[in-house]
Structure 1
Amino acid sequence: MSGLGEPFGLPALRAWAQRHARLGADAPEAAVPWAVAYSGGADSTALLLAAQALWPGRVQAFHVHHGLQAAADGFEAHARACCARWGIALHVAHVQACHSLGESPEDAARRARYRALADMARCHGAHWVLLGQHAQDQLETLLLALSRGAGLPGLAGMPEAMQRHGVAFGRPWLALDGQALRAHLDAHAVPYITDPTNADPRYTRNRIRAQVLPALQAAFPACLDTFARSARHAAQAQTLLHEVAVQDLATVGDPPRIRALQALSHARQANVLRHWLRQGWNASPSDAQLREALRQVAVCTTRGHRLHLKLAHGYVTRDGDALRYTPTPV
């Protein structure tokens, strides 16, 4: 890879590692702690080359074959050829990412991909799996969240580092310009593939990418930076809300006592109930469901007052002086 020049985004990757990746940096020399989720596209290609330059001989590539389109076999062949040329170990997982009734194909593919990447990380000793999302991807995520009326967790966008399925995932390039990334690869004739589904207007994210982002960047040239800053502010606020929820749940009890809940402000009641449901059952009630729950908690002032309502994938009921949540059997 010496003829490719300095890989794109190397300083940003190094800075990210200093902020987040102490585990991988401290791993034994014999280990291969870094893995890149390598689709063969431009973003993951650039990240793979930068990671190999920063940690030579300590990087492996993970490729997920989704089985959703005929071109997937060609994606895998491209990944194998490039990794062989660059001297990087490649591991491939084949998944069937078909979506169920009422489920987004994108969501189904995303879940299957993360699970496959986590399985490969555990199997091959990777301490971190790096993902190639960049500033445009973050902006698309924020616009999607706004279009859905998301709260702070959605408006915080994609985190730089997270745990999923017991494995650490990192996004070192959320502040980098994806257009500059592709221009760098093109200037150095680095091969990458373009997924034809990225131009399919049936997918909301593709419509945002093709129609909204160009207009937004033309009207507000600094939007990549300013939207990312707003996402960081939202993430900090969400962290504070989580800390408050942990403290409030310790006060009201688990399960929450109704009178203790009523002593909190309306906003803190909503915050602690969301936290209680999320940590116990991974349940996320709608705004309408949560508003009704708070209304019923407010009027629950007599011993005989009953409470029974739908929240997410289960029901909350009154059990003596406390709330009880029962998930609906699948």
Structure 2
Amino acid sequence: MKLAESLLAYRKREGVTQQDLAGRAGVSVRTLRDIERGLLRDPRARSVRLVAEAAGLPVADPEPALRVGLLGPLTLRVRGCAADLRPPMQRRLLGLLALRAGHVVTMADIVEFLWGEEIPASYHNLVHTHVSRLRGFLAGVRAGAGANLIGRAGEGYRLGLAGDESDLLAFTGTVAGAAAHLAAGAPEEAERAYERALLLWRGQVLAGLAPRAAHHPVVVAVSQQRLTAVLAYADLAMAHGRHEPALARLREVAAAEPLHEGLNARVLRALAGAGQRAAALRLFGELRGRLRDELGVEPGPELHDAHARVLRREAVAPRDPGAPPAPAVAS
């Protein structure tokens, strides 16, 4: 996550003004403003480090030679510059290999992801050709690594990426850190870590890459990891009275999980906690209607409990942050 985004999120969460943070860091308000605008980004700069330390934020290391973006439209950066990988099949291949970075992707998985049911007779040679061209595109990115970025493993291939070379790997690593903070009894640190992880997302996984990408098992699994992180973050944020930031994150995933009871129960609580009680009651009515019409069921206990608390104007307490999230309602 960029330092500028982290600083803005920190100040909004803690209610800290630019003047307060600048004074704490020993820099001018103008310098802080430039950092938040992204005009000062060198992590080696003294002013950048002072501001980051004053906010309790880590300073990102210089951008790696290779960076693959999967948490949204596929992006590729080489030595800090956007790289244009135009051939659609090579883009799809890179997306799939990067989703499974460090793991062998079989020939069958590659063929299904690239062509679906319209498999060409020469698919075997075509896959080798696309891999070879992708290797050539990536050659020399890492000193001494070159073509070894994509290794052969039996009939499959494996893309080797370090943790800072993929936003997905950065996300999973940061989420693991958040869980560790929570287990160690540091909920505020856990909340900040979840927030940093969620700021890495730019949209749906591999958005627009291929019609079948959204339904691929690995893409679905990664999307579920995001949902789990959002639920955990929302519980922690609401426990500390930060209902509006929780609501913003919940809404980012609500469209993809319209009937998820645990998610919608949290949305009700966040709305009520943010002073939008009428909106919370209206949402419950809409959800109850959809559940009856589409699934023939009534809202579950968690949703009913949140609704009852809103009606009674009780404190809208979150679920136990250590409890597992409620499963999605089966369609």
TM-score (norm 1): 0.26
TM-score (norm 2): 0.26
Question: Comparing both structures, which one devotes a greater share of its residues to strand?
Answer: 1
More helix by share: 2
